[in-house]
Amino acid sequence: MSSLFDPTKLHDLTLQNRIVMAPLTRSRADAMGVPKPFVRDYYAQRAGAGLIISEGTQTSFAGQGYARTPGIHTPEQIAAWKTVTDAVHARGGKMFMQFMHCGRIAHPLNRQIPDLPVAPSAVKPAGQMWTDQQQMQDYPTPRALETAELPALIDEFVTAARNARAAGFDGVELHAANGYLLNQFLASNTNRRTDGYGTSVNGRIRFVVEVVEAVAAAIGAARTGIRVSPGHMFNDIVDANPLETHRALLDALPTAEMAYVHVMLPDAFSPQLNNAGDPQAVLPSLRPHVKGALIAAGNLTVASASEMIDSGLIQLAVFGRPFIANPDLVERFKAGAPLAEPRQELFYTPGVEGYSDYPALAT
């Protein structure tokens, strides 16, 4: 059987297999960012994964972008998450929390605070986003962060990391992918700063490096991971040279000591990467720049994941959509059993339907 199902280690952390549940926003928190009680059931049902990465979770009310996403900055949120991690640990699973500060990908109607969303620069994203009160709305133009605000923003990530550990998470993943705040610092179309946190590649990677270093200093590099999506144009990201930017970022990070670097593979063709339609081509070009564990997500199958793990290209294989309708995904993979299809129309709805009500295979 493939080594996909074998236990492995991330530094001192033992995982029961090499299958990871991807971060999946499901919008099942209340208006104050507290996960609903049935969030515990949903994650516990999926604890057969070697590692679960939580849905994108905001580090402050100002970091929220979407309706009903959870936070990790109030006592009520921490207490609710503790019930989740306890249930996952009771089933032998491990769990990291993904920190998602949405930056400019936000609408005031989705937030508890009236302030405009913040971003590296005041560049309005193309497109619209969902709000519960007024359905689809244009993105507002964000407010550019002052240089003097950046240390407090870094502290916010550090406090959130301590909160996540207090809530029982085994570690945290910094979301520097998919066009959210950290990705907005990295990309040349969203970062027009001239204060040392922009302009050159070294300037654009600086804030992300400082956040990683501060979080790693607080909770340990071995419990700190990062997610990147070089070449993705999701959320209106267009970088002048995504491979150059990401290689420089990885070279500047303590990747040997960190938990992992998580790459979200581009869809089949990325005009940004000129990858000739091979979504996995980005991995060999980043591999030399990652001194520790490299993990990847994006349309993986048992066959492609096994091949990449067995060849040593990646250490863990990350699955997103297959986990939504298959709580016992690892068992189904082992048995070669058919997979259930998720109901997309229920991805972001508030209740248990299409969430914690997908059955495991009868045994």
21 vs 248, which CB is nearer to ligand FMN?
A: 21
Cα–Cα distance for residue pair 241/192, rounded to 1 Å: 15
266 binds ligand FMN (CB under 6 A): no
CB of 109 to ligand FMN, least distance (A): 19
198 vs 230, which CB is nearer to ligand FMN?
A: 230
Question: Helix, strand, or coil here: 296?
Answer: strand
CB of 101 to ligand FMN, least distance (A): 12
227 binds ligand FMN (CB under 6 A): yes
Q: Considering only 114-122, 212-220, 285-293, 316-324, which stretch makes contact with ligand FMN by CB under 6 A?
A: 316-324
Cα–Cα distance for residue pair 85/47, rounded to 1 Å: 10
Largest Cα span, the chain: 61
162 binds ligand FMN (CB under 6 A): no
- DSSP annotation of 71 reads B
Residue type for position 54: S
Active site residue 43: no
306 binds ligand FMN (CB under 6 A): no
Cα–Cα distance for residue pair 82/72, rounded to 1 Å: 11
177 binds ligand FMN (CB under 6 A): yes
Which residue out of 180, 197, 260, 358 is catalytically annotated? 180
Q: In this chain, which of 17, 64, 85, 98 binds ligand FMN, going by CB under 6 A? A: 98
Cα–Cα distance for residue pair 235/264, rounded to 1 Å: 14
23 binds ligand FMN (CB under 6 A): yes
Buried-exposed string 116-128: b where 16+ CB fall within 10 A, e elsewhere = ebbbbbebebeee
Q: Considering only 8-16, 81-89, 286-294, 295-303, which stretch makes contact with ligand FMN by CB under 6 A?
A: 295-303
Place of tokens 């949405």: 102
250 vs 317, which CB is nearer to ligand FMN?
A: 317
320 binds ligand FMN (CB under 6 A): yes
The DSSP annotation for 166-227 comes to HTT-SEEEEE--TTSHHHHHHSTTT----SSSSSSHHHHHHHHHHHHHHHHHHH-GGGEEEE
CB of 95 to ligand FMN, least distance (A): 14
Q: Considering only 16-24, 279-287, 305-313, 333-341, which stretch makes contact with ligand FMN by CB under 6 A?
A: 16-24
CB of 255 to ligand FMN, least distance (A): 19
Q: Considering only 18-26, 147-155, 241-249, 273-281, which stretch makes contact with ligand FMN by CB under 6 A?
A: 18-26
Cα–Cα distance for residue pair 97/94, rounded to 1 Å: 10
Residue nearest to ligand FMN (CB): 320
Please enumerate in sequence order all residues whose Cβ is within 8 A of that of 200, keeping only pairs 6 or more positions apart, or say none.
none
Cα–Cα distance for residue pair 192/133, rounded to 1 Å: 33
Cα–Cα distance for residue pair 32/74, rounded to 1 Å: 9
Q: In this chain, which of 25, 184, 224, 280 binds ligand FMN, going by CB under 6 A? A: 25
Binding residues for ligand FMN, per CB under 6 A?
22-25, 55-56, 98, 100, 175, 177-178, 227, 264, 297-300, 319-322, 347
Enzyme catalytic residues: 180
